[in-house]
Chain A
């Protein structure tokens, strides 16, 4: 399916690179996996750039999102032979900016980290040289970034409610007890990923930066 998709996109000169992403791209696909495609465009894609390949493949468009300023991404979903395909679109300028922000400036924005994880874990279908040029830059995970992420993961917020842990366990309040344990588990995973200089591939594995925590009112 990935090769067919690559053929459908190949004629568009604006497309700088295409990769199979997610678990399929990482070689971890199982029966729950749906194909994910990441498109990297040399200039912002038009609606026709995005829908043309889907029509050529005989896919049925199911979702079509406008540009998301926060994620710096256009996205669409379609059905092809019963499979749900998710497409993410970025400009190459955005990737350059993400690389500079994270690797040069130590930016901890989860959106940018998730993108760099995708660059490292995806399987290039088109424009392999470009993706290969991005990877070593993403691999330069600076020590200052690891320190910042560890500090972000291991904060006192993780311990909220811990003073009551024995009471919760004794009274069988498993729902709240599990919440406390999950929070610790997530913090530990986030810290271990940072220690090992690994960008989290999922939003769920990321510690929210302080500004986002404030936004959530926590």
Chain B
């Protein structure tokens, strides 16, 4: 994760974080639901931002998708 370029490292870090949450909850019984929700929300926002760039790059911002993408 730390040796890869950031563009590749971020998805690996996200997976690692999600796996760690599941492991820690299963093995210690800790309630990490708030953190789990925060991670999930961030990942969903990341997907929306990626979609914004793709639409913009294609020059099809007026295709209607932008209505579903929060500012």
Listed in ascending order, the chain A residues whose CB lies under 8 Å from chain B are: 143, 146-147, 150-151, 154-156, 158-159, 162-163, 165-170, 174, 177-178, 180-182, 184-185, 187-188, 191-192, 194-195
* Residues of chain B with a CB closer than 8 A to A170's CB: 7
Q: In the complex, what residues of B have CB within 8 A of residue A167's CB? A: 49
Q: How far in angstroms is the closest Cβ of chain B from A204? A: 14
CA distance A162 to B11 in the complex (A): 11
Would you call B1 and A185 a contact (CB within 8 A)? yes
Interface SS majority for chain B: helix
Q: Chain B residues near A194 (CB, 8 Å)? A: 24, 28
B contact residues, total (Cβ < 8 Å): 30
A-B contact pairs, 27 of them (CB 8 A): A143-B29, A147-B28, A147-B29, A147-B30, A150-B28, A150-B30, A151-B31, A155-B35, A159-B39, A163-B49, A165-B6, A165-B10, A166-B50, A167-B49, A168-B6, A169-B7, A177-B6, A181-B6, A181-B9, A181-B10, A187-B20, A188-B16, A188-B17, A188-B20, A191-B23, A192-B20, A192-B23
B6 touching A159, Cβ below 8 Å: no
User: In the complex, which residues of chain B have a beta carbon less than 8 angstroms from the beta carbon of A177?
Assistant: 6, 9-10
In the complex, A143→B27 CA distance in Å?
9
Chain A at the B interface: SS class:
helix
Q: Which of A146, A150, A163, A182 has the most CB of B within 10 A?
A: A150
CB distance from B9 to the nearest CB of A (A): 5
Given A143-B29, A146-B27, A177-B10; 15 other pairs, CB 8 A cutoff: A150-B32, A151-B32, A154-B20, A154-B35, A158-B17, A159-B38, A159-B39, A163-B45, A163-B46, A166-B53, A169-B7, A174-B6, A184-B13, A185-B2, A188-B17
Contacts A154-B21, A188-B17 given: A166-B35 contact, CB under 8 Å? no
Alpha-carbon distance A168/B7, docked complex (angstroms): 9
**Hey, which chain A residues are within 8 Å of B7, CB to CB?**
169-170
Evaluate contact between A163 and B6: CB separation under 8 angstroms.
Answer: no
Assuming the A-B contacts A154-B21, A162-B42, A188-B20, are A195 and B28 also in contact, with contact meaning beta carbons closer than 8 angstroms in the complex? Answer: yes
B34 within 8 A of partner (CB):
yes
CA distance A180 to B46 in the complex (A): 15
> How many angstroms from the CA of A168 to the CA of B13 in the assembled complex?
15
> In the bound complex, do residue A178 and residue B34 qualify as a contact, i.e. CB atoms below 8 Å apart?
no
**CA separation between A158 and B36, bound complex, in Å?**
12
Task: Please determine whether B6 and A178 come into contact, CB atoms closer than 8 angstroms.
Answer: yes
CA distance A180 to B6 in the complex (A): 10
CB distance from B59 to the nearest CB of A (A): 18
